[in-house]
Amino acid sequence: EPEVTQTPSHQVTQMGQEVILRCVPISNHLYFYWYRQILGQKVEFLVSFYNNEISEKSEIFDDQFSVERPDGSNFTLKIRSTKLEDSAMYFCASQILADTIYFGEGSWLTVV
């Protein structure tokens, strides 16, 4: 069964460092997402991406965040200068039209 894959599974970074989280969505999917879950809290929407551009973003997704799909397969989330409060599980997800959204296994980011 096709799945969304994410790397790394866990990353520890120092505050102020740049982090890139990578995702390979399901191949025939058209919509791509990043969600965040701070430990013990609910899953929060960050950004949606369609047709090579951001279609929607939340208040969380400020100028420190960016996304791109450089080669048509990988979908990346970049945090330019990490803060302690960026520590969370980051989920990539993909979707085909108005259908079920499938999540990757997540990338734990710990900012120290």
Partner 1 sequence: AQKVTQAQTEISVVEKEDVTLDCVYETRDTTYYLFWYKQPPSGELVFLIRRNSFDEQNEISGRYSWNFQKSTSSFNFTITASQVVDSAVYFCALTTGNQFYFGTGTSLTVIP
Binding of partner 1 at residue 56 (CB under 8 A)? yes
Largest CA distance in the chain: 38
What share of residues in the chain are helix, strand, coil (percent, to 5)?
Answer: 5, 50, 45
- Using CB under 8 A as the binding rule, whether residue 100 contacts partner 1 is answered as yes
By the rule CB under 8 A, 22 interacts with partner 1: no
For CA atoms 99, 95, 105, 39, the dihedral sign is negative
- 61 touches partner 1 (CB under 8 A): no
Does the footprint of partner 1 cover residue 28 (CB under 8 A)?
A: no
Residue type, 104: G
Residue 96 within binding range of partner 1, rule CB under 8 A = no
Interface positions with partner 1 (CB under 8 A): 31, 33, 35, 41-45, 48, 50, 55-56, 89, 91, 95, 98-106, 108
